[in-house]
Structure 1
Amino acid sequence: MSNARKIFVLYHRGLRTGGPEALHQLVSTLRELGQDAYLVPHYTTAATPRVAQYSIYDAPEADTIEDTAGNIVVVPETFIEDVFAYKHAKKMIWWLSIDNALTFMGERLWQRTTGGLPTKIRETWVPFLRMLKHGDTPFQMRQRRDIVHLVQSSYAWSFIASRLNTVPSLLSDFTPHDEFGPANEAKRNPRLVTYNPAKGAHIIDAVRKVCDPGIEWLPIQGMTRSEVVSTLQTCGVYLDLGHHPGKDRMPREAALSGALAVVARRGSGAYFADVPIPWEHKIMPDDNEVSATAAALPRLMDNLSEEIRKQDAYRSAIKAERERFRKEVTDIFIDNRLGKDAYDYM
């Protein structure tokens, strides 16, 4: 693929989340490596202003994707139906998440919907019909051999390999860490737990009701970026009991800030390659999840400094992400070494 003329990366313009930032990182890294790469805003977001904070990346936009032989088109899983429109360029799907991927949305809604058969049908017929229309059901995707599958996490690697009967290639991302300078440990409150309400808030609410009343709670919402950084640098624990659809950013940012990251063993949180923290820092997502979390927090807080030191290797791995990402990009787009997983980079 080293002779690719241009590489186009479709993205959601104006959205500041981990996925769009990873797409910026890909284009910027490709250009560092001498490739002619561009972001292309999805037509539904073309009128939205670009995210100013992403100007740190060398990621210029092209107006359209040039569907010609020798070019490459990278499509995130959120716009998966667009990939089938390209007939000549090399097609790649980057699975930045699994739980949010349209291909598997219908069956996940089916599994999570409570009630009888009529309720399940009523809640899931729209995504199932959409997939049939666009040809991206899991069965149809298994038949396509003209698509290269890239995955952001080991969780996604395992899922795509088993569900689509293919060998995907790891293409992770990296966590910018310049803004996370040395934390002032004198200001850290070991009894403060912070969390993202978009990540398992209903479980955390249940934990709060039965937890030690001396524990303080602070949701990360409605904050500026500097306020988020300050909160992570002063809390004792960052708690994430969500689904971990990909290798999430905020647990990594919390660890870089010197806080203790505690996650549920869901999605990427279940994989040591994605979240390499000790067993005792992960909560088993079973019927005892709420009580187990409530019991774990005071125990971890009583020895917070020691528990945080147990995540030193995690912080070191996060700081090395950028160089590893560069190797992943080189393998896929320049040397055509496909099929690598996280353990090939350890």
Structure 2
Amino acid sequence: MMNRTGITIYENTRVYVPCPASHATGGTELLHQFVHALRNLGIDAWIYYYRIKDGVDPIHQQFRKYVSEYATDIVDAPENILVVPETRTEYLFKYEHLRKVIWWLSVDFFYDSADVDFVSTWKKRLGITPRFDIKHPEKLKVDLHLVQSQYAADHLEKHGIHNYHYLSDYLNAAFLDQPEIDEQPWNRVLYNPKKGFEFTQTLIRESPELEWFALTNLTPEQVADVCRKSKVYIDFGHHPGKDRFPREAAICGCCIITGRRGAAAFEEDIPIPQQYKFSDADDQVPAIIRQIKHCMDDFETVQHDFDHYRSVIRGQEAAFIQDIKDIFQQQHSPVQQ
């Protein structure tokens, strides 16, 4: 059961969200969607870009629909709030007075010390760059944790952290606002080559009769188009959070087959029937290939096994807005000084 902890928004509160400049990923899009939603609710929220390059617009063109301006500094005052993803907790140590929130967009990436360059990576590994210590959370006062997945909530509970609230995400409109297509989808298996590729290579090698297609170097619109014309999406990655690719493929009509690692192990995060979830073990390869072929051969029937998942996905934007309203509780008086 998710906790329902919130945080107060005063009349003079500003919410700051650090984000890498000019960088478009699912995670950075979510940070922009978050600020956009807060602003639509009348809350003074700002993206704070870091690693801004000379002559390059820090607002990626894909995100101009969410924000048109950004903060150039963060005011360290007790009425203000700093929301950082779990990979950037070092920002929490820079400020003494403002309220601090960690948004767990993943679990696994929190433990990854790799950074954008050699120096930054080694500063993290040597402990020079301060980071939130999940084994000793009392060392840094965090006013609230947000969790994108049940996987993250479970992880916090195991470390004795209970002051959290669920705040997930929703898909790009390219996937939700789709015209009907008349043509039958192809007998094609889609996969993300950046996630679980070693095991996926085994599946590809053991099923040369199947057509496989890697979802890479594509815009959201192109991913949506490919998914709508395919029957199956597989994902045997680590699922560090509630990943977008399975949802994007499902909402476009694909049958979904996943592993059981990370968030995929939780029904709340990937609510598909258990017969479509497999361990990424060699002895499971024949069964996985049989299930892929079953999805293709009986697609008209099998695709309805994912109707509940699609219904959940369609409701995620409304749930996202409602969760923000529940978490960020606006109080018009008194104003904290």
The two structures share one fold, judged by TM-score above 0.5: yes
**Does 1:83 find its partner at 2:83?**
no
Aligned to 1:343: none
Higher RCO, 1 vs 2 (CA within 8 Å, ≥6 residues apart): 2
Contact 1:138 1:164 survives alignment (8 Å): no
> TM-score of the superposition, structure 2-length normalised?
0.86
**Does 1:283 find its partner at 2:278?**
yes
Aligned to 1:98: 107
Matches within 5 A, 1:21-170: 21-42=29-50, 44-45=51-52, 47=54, 48-49=56-57, 50-58=59-67, 60-101=69-110, 104-105=111-112, 129-131=125-127, 134-170=130-166
C-alpha separation in 1, matches of 2:189 and 2:182: 15
Contact 1:173 1:322 survives alignment (8 Å): yes
Which amino acid in structure 1 is aligned with residue 178 of structure 2? G
Contact 1:149 1:169 survives alignment (8 Å): yes
**Structure 1 residue 65 displacement after superposition:** 1.1
Aligned to 1:334: 329
SS in 1 for 2:82: strand
Aligned to 1:120: none
Kindly tell me: are residues 276 and 60 of structure 1, through their superposed partners in 2, closer, same or farther at Cα, counting changes over 3 Å? farther
**Does 1:249 find its partner at 2:244?**
yes
Contact 1:193 1:235 survives alignment (8 Å): yes
Matches within 5 A, 1:206-221: 206-211=202-207, 213-221=208-216
Contact 1:28 1:59 survives alignment (8 Å): no
1:220-252: per-residue Cα shift (whole Å, max 9, x none)?
123344322211110110111101111111111
Which amino acid in structure 1 is aligned with residue 326 of structure 2? D
> TM-score of the superposition, structure 1-length normalised?
0.83
Q: 1:7 aligns with which of 12, 15, 39?
A: 15
Contact 2:124 2:130 survives alignment (8 Å): no
Which amino acid in structure 2 is aligned with residue 100 of structure 1? F
SS in 2 for 1:175: coil
**Does 1:262 find its partner at 2:252?**
no
Contact 2:169 2:316 survives alignment (8 Å): yes
1:24-50: per-residue Cα shift (whole Å, max 9, x none)?
1110111111101110012x2455532
Q: CA RMSD in A?
A: 2.4
1:197-224: per-residue Cα shift (whole Å, max 9, x none)?
111111110111112x321001112334
C-alpha separation in 2, matches of 1:127 and 1:202: 30
Name stretches of at least 5 consecutive residues in structure 1 with no aligned partner.
109-124, 337-346
Q: What is the aligned-residue identity percentage?
A: 32
Name stretches of at least 5 consecutive residues in structure 2 with no aligned partner.
1-7, 115-120, 332-337
Deviates more, 1:75-84 or 1:129-138: 129-138
Runs of 4+ deviating beyond 6 Å: none
C-alpha separation in 2, matches of 1:168 and 1:313: 27
Aligned to 2:192: 196
C-alpha separation in 1, matches of 2:182 and 2:200: 26
C-alpha separation in 2, matches of 1:26 and 1:226: 21
Which amino acid in structure 2 is aligned with residue 105 of structure 1? D
1:149-190: per-residue Cα shift (whole Å, max 9, x none)?
11111111111221253332111111133554144252411x
**Does 1:184 find its partner at 2:172?**
no
Contact 1:131 1:137 survives alignment (8 Å): no
Aligned to 1:175: 171
1:313-346: per-residue Cα shift (whole Å, max 9, x none)?
111111111110011111111169xxxxxxxxxx
> How many residues matched?
314
1:262-289: per-residue Cα shift (whole Å, max 9, x none)?
2111111111111111111212234534
